[in-house]
């Protein structure tokens, strides 16, 4: 009898506890519905939440953290994301492992914009389960912020993407065609199938825009085919990376601003589908250039700033290259221009080989002794006014000629030059070492040595009427001064000039006699007649040895000259005073 009340009390308490649990569950569902319906944030912590079409409207942020997973158990979840106040949708994935998978919907995004932010090892995937026209009705912009990882795994058409960092992956088996991709921070785009940006009508321009770098990876096909006003992209479009296996296939039309930005090919395949493509920069580091065929007199590629070859590989570039841009060869590889190259910018060969087919004019050639330059026809080196260009690498034109022109200064090492003749027309030419060809100076000025040095001409040497041979002097003996020797015939025009010039490091003493090595066998009177110097007045030339001797013309060192001038001024002053005194006495 005494136990009955206890049993009834326990039963009552247990029933009360169950009722409380039921009440709590009901309260949670009501609270969830109220919170979601009232646009409150919702947090998913290490759990899976299945969202049905009855979830109601939602206007703020989902926070998915831990290993949380948000999926839909309905093939159409448009009812779950119905917006009425115009507030953009913000999706934020927190902590490692979180992800949000939206399987399919043709009209789930009724708002103008979607903002996505992901932490490390999290991602947002659209259409992962059953591809469909997910973005058909979405006309806003998908903002991929910070380190976000967004995966488009369904077909889509005609919406905008703003890459403000992070990664945007296109992996649909049916491909994807976007409207505008804008890059506002360095970002990565991965393509596993195909992605096309192109304009279909003049009123509906499609393009890639922005000023930051975009790296494209994967094994898919990416086509940027903007036209007209769509040429706005000013960043670097980087195709592949050095660690990419396979590599994306990129097709480039007029999607880039010719006054900024450009393309870097690291890996994969690049196809310029427009024979009149114009880029600001183009850099080759590896990969394959496809469909680079010549197009007659129309250049296939125009570079307005720099064409850079930075690879240890060999690239045969058959496309015509034009524009005001420069060409830079680095990396130790070989760049073969087999098409028509009419670019007018500078040429720099830092490390590697640059070769041409046909006659070539290169502006402002410079480079180190690890550079190699070759062509199968005549070569012209033109140096601009006030430019000093030093090229110490090899030049090989076979049995053809090298012409040096322009109003600047070109410095070459003769040991590395293979040609039948060097013709210097204008400007200044410093050439040193052993030259196994003829040297004709028709105009301008030539000097043996890049600084003080010697030039040995293995063939013939000719100094024209409008030309000057400048011999720099650094000391008394021939070993300290410029020297010129010739194994072939030597010709000095009576109207030419031999100019003796003090090197910056040398100040002669009074009555010094210096010796300069010139070609032997010359007419002594001719040599003495064409000599020109402000500091020497006593000359002698030995035709047997070719040694020219010159004595200082009485020009003292600067300090002595100043004392002499002051003394002369004092003498003149005293003389004037004496004359004035005598006039007064008389």
Model confidence over 382-392: pLDDT tens digits? 999 999 999 99
Q: Which pLDDT belongs to residue 521?
A: 95
Q: Which pLDDT belongs to residue 582?
A: 43
pLDDT band at 358 (very low <50, low <70, confident <90, very high): confident
The mean per-residue pLDDT over the stretch 51-58 comes to 48
Residue 127: pLDDT over 60 = no
Tell how many helices (H) and how many strands (E) occur in the chain: 3, 53
Q: Which pLDDT belongs to residue 77?
A: 36
Residue 272: pLDDT over 60 = yes
Per the CB < 8 A criterion, the answer to whether 401 and 420 are in contact is yes
The mean per-residue pLDDT over the stretch 272-301 comes to 75
Q: Which pLDDT belongs to residue 401?
A: 98
Q: Which pLDDT belongs to residue 105?
A: 42
pLDDT band at 146 (very low <50, low <70, confident <90, very high): confident
The mean per-residue pLDDT over the stretch 510-526 comes to 91
Q: Which pLDDT belongs to residue 6?
A: 40
Determine which of 191-195, 257-261, 537-541 has the lowest per-residue pLDDT on average.
191-195
Q: Which pLDDT belongs to residue 244?
A: 56
Q: Which pLDDT belongs to residue 249?
A: 83
Q: Is 222 exposed, middle or buried (0-12, 13-18, 19+ CB in 10 A)?
A: buried
pLDDT band at 46 (very low <50, low <70, confident <90, very high): low
Beta strands in 192-341 (DSSP E): 194-198, 207-210, 214-218, 221-225, 236-239, 249-252, 262-265, 269-272, 277-284, 288-290, 301-310, 314-317, 321-322, 326-330, 334-337
Give 251 or 104, the one with higher predicted confidence: 251
Instruction: List the one residue out of 508, 445, 523, 458 whose CA is nearest residue 484.
Output: 458
Q: Which pLDDT belongs to residue 202?
A: 38
Give 236 or 463, the one with higher predicted confidence: 463
Determine which of 89-93, 282-286, 460-464, 482-486 has the lowest per-residue pLDDT on average.
89-93
C-alpha span between 322 and 312 (Å, rounded): 24
C-alpha span between 42 and 92 (Å, rounded): 11
Per the CB < 8 A criterion, the answer to whether 413 and 433 are in contact is yes
Q: Which pLDDT belongs to residue 108?
A: 41
Going 34 to 38 to 41 to 44, the CA torsion angle's sign is: positive
The mean per-residue pLDDT over the stretch 120-138 comes to 54
Give 305 or 50, the one with higher predicted confidence: 305
The whole-model pTM stands at 0.79
Per the CB < 8 A criterion, the answer to whether 206 and 234 are in contact is no
Q: Which pLDDT belongs to residue 82?
A: 40
In degrees and rounded to multiples of 5, residue 378 shows phi and psi of -65, 150
Determine which of 49-53, 140-144, 332-336, 507-511 has the lowest per-residue pLDDT on average.
49-53
Could you give the 3-state DSSP secondary structure of residue 334? strand
Residue 71: pLDDT over 80 = no
Model confidence over 489-503: pLDDT tens digits? 999 999 999 999 888
Model confidence over 76-119: pLDDT tens digits? 333 334 444 445 566 667 655 666 665 444 334 434 567 777 76
Instruction: List the one residue out of 178, 220, 211 whose CA is nearest residue 196.
Output: 178
Instruction: List the one residue out of 468, 548, 553, 472 whose CA is nearest residue 514.
Output: 548
Per the CB < 8 A criterion, the answer to whether 458 and 484 are in contact is no
The mean per-residue pLDDT over the stretch 543-556 comes to 80
The mean per-residue pLDDT over the stretch 363-390 comes to 95
Residue 34: pLDDT over 50 = no
- Share above pLDDT 90 across residues of the chain, in percent, rounded to a whole number: 37
Residue 410: pLDDT over 70 = yes
Q: Which pLDDT belongs to residue 487?
A: 96
Mean pLDDT over the full length of the chain: 76
Going 102 to 103 to 108 to 112, the CA torsion angle's sign is: positive
């Amino acid at each position: 009898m005494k136990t009955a009340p206890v049993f009834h009390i326990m039963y009552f308490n247990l029933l009360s506890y169950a009722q409380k649990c039921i009440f709590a569950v009901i309260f949670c569902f009501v609270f969830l519905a109220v919170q979601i319906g009232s646009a409150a944030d919702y947090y998913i912590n290490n759990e899976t939440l299945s969202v049905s079409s009855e979830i109601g409207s939602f206007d703020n942020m989902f926070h998915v953290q831990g290993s949380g997973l948000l999926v839909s158990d309905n093939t159409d979840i448009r009812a779950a994301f119905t917006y009425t106040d115009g507030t953009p949708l913000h999706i934020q994935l927190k902590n490692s492992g979180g992800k949000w998978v939206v399987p399919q919907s043709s009209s789930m995004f009724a708002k103008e914009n979607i903002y996505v932010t992901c932490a490390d090892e999290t991602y947002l995937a659209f259409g992962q389960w059953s591809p469909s026209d997910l973005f058909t009705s979405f006309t806003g912009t998908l903002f991929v912020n910070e380190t976000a990882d967004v995966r488009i795994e369904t077909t889509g058409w005609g919406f905008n993407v703003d890459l403000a960092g992070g990664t945007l992956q296109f992996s649909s088996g049916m491909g994807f065609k976007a409207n505008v991709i804008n890059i506002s921070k360095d970002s990565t785009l991965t393509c596993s199938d195909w992605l096309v940006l192109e304009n279909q009508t003049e009123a509906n321009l499609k393009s890639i825009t922005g000023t930051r770098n975009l790296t494209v990876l994967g094994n898919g096909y990416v086509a940027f085919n903007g036209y007209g006003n769509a040429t706005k992209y000013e960043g670097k479009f980087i195709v592949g990376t050095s660690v990419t296996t396979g590599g994306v296939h990129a097709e480039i039309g007029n999607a880039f601003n010719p006054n900024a930005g450009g393309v870097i090919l690291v890996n994969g395949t690049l196809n310029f589908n427009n024979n009149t493509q114009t880029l600001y920069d183009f850099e080759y580091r590896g990969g394959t250039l496809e469909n680079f065929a010549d197009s007659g007199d129309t250049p296939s590629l125009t570079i307005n700033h720099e064409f850079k070859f930075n690879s240890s590989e060999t690239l045969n570039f058959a496309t015509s290259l034009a524009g005001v841009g420069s060409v830079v060869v680095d990396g130790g590889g070989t760049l073969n221009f087999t098409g028509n190259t009419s670019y007018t910018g500078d040429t720099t060969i830092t490390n590697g080989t640059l070769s041409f087919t046909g006659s070539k004019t290169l502006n402002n050639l410079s480079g180190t002794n690890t550079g190699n330059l070759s062509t199968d026809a005549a070569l012209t080196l033109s140096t601009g006014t006030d430019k000093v260009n030093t090229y110490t690498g090899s030049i090989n034109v076979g049995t053809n000629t090298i012409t040096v022109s322009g109003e600047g200064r070109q410095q070459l090492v003769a040991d590395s030059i293979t040609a039948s003749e060097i013709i210097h027309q204008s400007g200044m030419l410093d050439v040193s070492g052993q030259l196994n060809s003829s040297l004709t100076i028709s105009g301008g000025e030539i000097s043996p040595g890049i600084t003080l040095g010697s030039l040995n001409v293995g063939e013939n040497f000719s100094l024209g009427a409008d030309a000057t041979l400048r011999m720099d002097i650094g000391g008394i003996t021939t070993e300290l001064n410029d020297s010129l020797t010739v194994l072939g015939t030597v010709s000095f025009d009576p109207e030419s000039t031999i100019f003796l010039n003090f090197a910056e490091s040398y100040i002669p003493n009074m009555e010094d006699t210096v010796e300069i090595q010139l070609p032997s066998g010359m007419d002594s009177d001719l040599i003495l007649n064409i000599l020109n110097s402000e500091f020497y007045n006593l000359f002698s030339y030995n035709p047997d040895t070719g040694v020219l001797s010159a004595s200082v013309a009485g020009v003292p060192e600067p300090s002595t000259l100043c004392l002499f001038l002051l003394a002369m001024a004092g003498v003149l002053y005293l003389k004037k005073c004496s004359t004035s005194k005598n006039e007064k006495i008389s």
